[in-house]
C-alpha cells in the first residue's frame, strides 16, 4: 500500500475523524483537486480540506471505491424478481423475493458485506426450506478491523 506517503489518507469521513493516529494522518471532508505522477513511483496530490488547499506527496495511491450489486442485465425482471432503487434484490426478512419459492441471499440482497453474513443467510434459507421460520431480524453480526499500524 502506501510506503512513504507522508502517511496521509483522504476521503469522505465524519468530521471528527480528522487527526493523526500512530503516524497516519486522516484528512476528513477533503476533496482531491489534482493528481500528478505515477502510483508506485512518486505521486503528488493537491487536496482541498475545509481549512485550506495543501499538497500531499508519496509513493502510491489506493482507491477504495466501494461495491455495487451485479444484478443488471441478467434478466431478473423477466422472472419477476424485484430490485430496490440501488439494484439490490428485494427480499423480506425470511429472504423470500417477490416471486414465490424464489429466495435470495448474500450481498446481492443488500445484506451486510461479510462472509459470515452470507453464510448465515444460507442457513436461514436452508431452515426455511425445511419448514422453519427463521428471519434476519435481530441477528447479531460481529465485525472487527485489523490494521497495522
Ligand atoms: C477485498 C475484499 C476483502 C474482504 N474481506 C473480508 C473479510 O475479511 N471478512 C469478511 O467477512 N468479508 C470480507 N469480504 C466480503 C466477503 O468477501 C463477501 O461479503 C462475501 O464473499 C459475500 O458472499 P456472497 O455469497 O454474498 O457473494 P460472493 O462471494 O460475491 O458470491 C457471488 C457469486 O455469484 C457469482 N455470480 C455473479 N454473477 C453471476 C451470474 N450472473 N451468474 C452466475 N453466477 C454469478 C460470482 O462469480 C460469485 O461466485 C471481503 C471482500 C472483498 C472484495
* 37 and 6 share one domain: yes
| CA angle, residues 72, 73, 75, in degrees to nearest 5 | 105
**What 3-state DSSP class applies to 115?**
helix
- pLDDT at res. 17: 63
CATH of the domain at 78: 3.50.50.60
* 138 and 110 share one domain: yes
Asked whether residue 39 is assigned to any structural domain, the reply reads yes
Longest dimension (CA), the chain: 61
* More reliable by pLDDT, 87 or 66: 87
Which residues have CB under 8 Å from 3's CB, separation 6+? Answer: 58, 59, 60
* 91 and 45 share one domain: no
pLDDT 10s digits, 3-50 = 333 444 444 444 456 678 778 888 888 999 999 999 999 999 999 999
Paired sense of beta strands 19-21 and 53-58, if any: unpaired
Asked whether residue 149 is assigned to any structural domain, the reply reads no
Residue indicated by cell numbers 493516529: 21
Task: Dig out the grid coordinates for 82 from the structure.
Answer: 424485484
Give me the domain span that covers residue 78.
67-144
- pLDDT at res. 47: 95
pLDDT 10s digits, 93-114 = 999 999 999 999 999 999 999 9
Q: Whose CA is nearest to atom 42 of ligand 1?
A: 74
Looking at 50, 66, 82, the residue that finishes a domain is: 66
Q: Averaged over 84-89, what is the pLDDT?
A: 96
* 57 and 75 share one domain: no
pLDDT 10s digits, 52-80 = 999 999 999 988 888 899 999 999 999 99
* 59 and 85 share one domain: no
110: CA distance to ligand 1 center in Å?
A: 12
* 72 and 138 share one domain: yes
Pocket of ligand 1 (CB under 6 A): 70, 74, 106-107, 113-116, 118
pLDDT at 127 over 90: yes
* 85 and 48 share one domain: no
Mutate to test the pocket of ligand 1, among 67, 72, 74, 114 (most ligand atoms within 8 A of CB): 114
* 71 and 40 share one domain: no
- pLDDT at res. 73: 94
* 76 and 57 share one domain: no
Its pTM stands at 0.73
* More reliable by pLDDT, 86 or 146: 86
Contact 1, 60 (CB under 8 A): yes
* 31 and 98 share one domain: no
Instruction: Please compute, for residue 87, the number of CA atoms within 13 A of its CA located in the half-sphere on the CB side.
Output: 10
**Nearest atom, ligand 1, residue 116 CA:** 11
- pLDDT at res. 19: 78
Confidence of residue 147 (pLDDT cuts 50, 70, 90): confident
* 28 and 47 share one domain: yes
Amino acid at each position: 500500500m502506501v510506503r512513504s506517503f507522508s502517511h496521509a489518507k483522504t476521503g469522505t469521513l465524519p468530521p471528527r475523524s480528522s487527526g493523526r493516529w500512530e503516524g497516519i494522518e486522516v484528512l476528513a471532508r477533503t476533496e482531491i483537486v489534482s493528481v500528478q505522477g505515477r502510483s508506485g513511483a512518486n505521486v503528488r496530490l493537491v487536496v482541498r480540506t475545509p481549512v485550506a488547499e495543501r499538497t500531499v506527496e508519496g509513493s502510491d495511491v489506493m482507491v477504495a471505491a466501494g461495491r455495487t450489486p451485479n444484478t443488471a442485465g441478467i434478466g431478473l425482471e423477466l422472472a419477476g424478481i424485484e430490485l430496490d432503487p440501488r439494484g439490490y434484490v428485494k427480499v423480506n426478512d425470511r429472504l423470500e423475493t417477490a416471486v414465490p419459492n424464489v429466495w435470495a441471499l448474500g450481498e446481492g440482497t443488500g445484506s451486510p458485506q461479510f462472509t459470515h453474513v452470507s453464510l448465515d443467510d444460507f442457513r436461514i434459507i436452508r431452515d426455511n426450506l425445511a419448514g422453519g421460520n427463521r428471519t434476519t431480524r435481530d441477528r447479531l453480526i460481529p465485525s472487527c478491523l485489523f490494521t497495522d499500524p
